[in-house]
Amino acid sequence: MMLLISILSCTIFFFHFLNAVAEITLTGCHLEAGLQVCTTLNGQATTFQVPITSYSEITLTKTTPTTETSTTTEIPNTTEPPSSTQISESTTTPQTDAVTACHLHGDTQYCVNGAGAEVRIVASSTPTPIPTAYTGCHSHGSEMHCLDPFGSEVKAVSSEPTAPAAGKKGSHSGGKNCHFHAGVEHCTSTDGSEERDCGRVDRDYNVNLRIGLLFVILITSAIGVFTPILLSRLLRIQPTGLIFTFIKQFGTGVIISTAFVHLLTHAELMFANTCLGELKYEATATSIAMAGTFMAFLVDFSSHRLAHWRQSKIVPGPIDEKCTQHESDDSTDSPPDLAAFSHHNHSIPSGALSSSAISLIILEAGIVFHSLLIGITLVVAGDSVFITLFVVIIFHQMFEGLALGARIAATNSDKVISAKLFILPLIFSFITPIGMAIGIGVLQNFNGNNPSTIIALGTLNAFSAGILIWVGFIEMWAGDWVHGDLAQADMARTFVGMVSLIAGFILMGVLGKWA
């Protein structure tokens, strides 16, 4: 009996001893899809969940029919397979399978990877609450992907902003090509697809430089717009001379090129921005431009009707024979085409603006909207592209100033010029610096890919394009070449006018690559 009791006791003690073993030896540990895989002594592969911190303790649970014992094995972070004995040394190699310390910059989430660098998290949908870490990081080609706590996959990309070449595409180590449209950056991946990044990018801004160059823009704009006026009034240069013909037709080319290349093109790019999502109506930009053209026509037409109505209310006095004969002679001497367009130069009652004055006001409205946006987008462009864009805007303002100034100088009513229209060149001179001042005020908060900003810029660009299309084609191009003095001009004036018109198209079109 005593022998039986002894054998039974030894058996029980032996089983308790086996269940009390607290350490399991693992070999060949490695990562597969963010999970730790090791090999036990019997050659079986065992998978373990790895915590967020660097390779740390892995808790194993071994279950027997009688008891459950929790044992702990420490696995070092090393590229060499561990020995078959238990390893308890700590490691200092940073983890690479998780990103931690996640936080928000505005509406964009950033985390810190194992190398200590900040990465931006790109997810199709953001869980609530926002995770503080992502695990199971792995590579898909050149991209790094991680898993959120709910098992959804997100992409972790470098948060460092690129430094694109001014106004043109440039290759970057991050696999992106970046360029600027009207001061707003657009980036595409190497396969040509635009990368969706609607967050604000921090850039370097030299505020003092921007404040100083604001006055340079002011002076340049004033020189451009006042030069034709001073040439006409001080040097008595005739509007029908070769010099003025060159300036006027160059300005016509500038205005039409501005409408299509600068405004309408950039409006379409704004509405095509992926941060707006897919537009239900693809012709949004051109429809807004059409509305701008109609509004310009409506103002022009209404002003003409009002002027003729007020003129018809004047009671005609007795007609002198000499006056009648003089008017008859004038009609005989005037070319038919010029007489057909004489509604731009006829006298009207006091208090009513002439048709040419109304056309100038409409032209000014289109230029003002555009110049205000030019000032804002110039300032908010990063230092990497600012100087190049500034040089382009200098020429842009000079050309537009010449176009507006030539039309003001060609107005043959001295009273209108001195009393009413002299204010137009002053408005043009100050409007772009005002836009720059607004841009400096919002410099630290401006996000060119914010949906509200995109809609505002795109709408103003498209509407301004419509206004300038009406003024450029009807009042300026057709007004001079079909109904105006160039319809019957000599060969020299016709040649100079045609060359300067094409020069305006080309030069302003080239500037449209940057501004």
Spatial distance between the Cα atoms of 272 and 283, rounded to a whole number of angstroms:
10
Does the pLDDT value for residue 376 go beyond 70?
A: yes
Lowest mean pLDDT among 84-88, 141-145, 216-220, 251-255: 84-88
| Helices (H), ranges, 258-382 | 265-271, 284-312, 321-333, 336-340, 355-380
Listed in sequence order, the residues at least 6 apart from 334 whose beta carbon sits closer than 8 Å to its beta carbon are: 342
For residue 321, name the pLDDT band (cuts at 50, 70, 90). Answer: very low
Going 292 to 262 to 248 to 229, the CA torsion angle's sign is positive
How far is the C-alpha of 90 from the C-alpha of 79, rounded, in Å? 14
Could you report the per-residue pLDDT of 213-247, keeping only the tens digit for each? 999 999 999 999 999 888 888 877 777 788 889 99
pTM: 0.58
Percent above pLDDT 70 for the chain: 63
The rounded percent of the chain whose pLDDT value lies above 90 is 30
- Residues facing 111 on adjacent strands: 119
The answer on pLDDT for 491 being more than 90 is yes
pLDDT tens digits, one per residue of 291-312: 999 999 999 898 888 878 887 8
CA dihedral sign of residues 377, 378, 379, 380: positive
Instruction: List Cα–Cα distances, 119 to 32, 109, 145, 155, 421, in angstroms.
Output: 22, 9, 11, 9, 56
What local confidence, expressed as pLDDT, does residue 56 receive?
36
Least confident piece of the model among 70-74, 149-153, 365-369 = 70-74
Say whether the peptide bond before residue 127 is cis (omega within 30 degrees of 0). no
Q: Is the pLDDT of residue 328 over 90?
A: no
Q: Is the pLDDT of residue 421 over 50?
A: yes
Compute the mean pLDDT over every residue in the chain, rounded to the nearest whole number: 74
- Sheet with 100-105, side-by-side order of all strands: 100-105, 108-112, 118-122, 153-158, 143-147, 135-140
Q: In angstroms, what CA-CA distances link 512 with 207, 224, 486?
A: 25, 19, 28
pLDDT at 80 over 60: no
Domain ranges of the chain: 25-93, 94-160, 207-306+349-511
Confidence category of residue 209, pLDDT binned at 50, 70, 90: very high
Cα dist from 77 to 137, 145, 324, 328, whole Å: 16, 21, 107, 104
CB-based contacts of 49, cutoff 8 Å, min separation 6: 35, 36
Q: Give first-to-last CA distance, the chain, whole Å.
A: 105
Q: Which of 66-80, 258-272, 410-424 has the highest mean pLDDT?
A: 258-272
Report pLDDT for 313: 77
For residues 196 and 275, is the Cβ–Cβ distance under 8 A?
A: yes
Q: One-letter amino acid identity for 391?
A: V
For 429-481, the pLDDT digits (tens) are 999 999 999 999 988 888 888 888 899 999 999 999 999 999 999 989 999 99
CB 164 within 8 A of CB 170: yes
What count of Cα atoms within 13 Å lies in the side-chain half-sphere of residue 283?
5
pLDDT of 126: 62
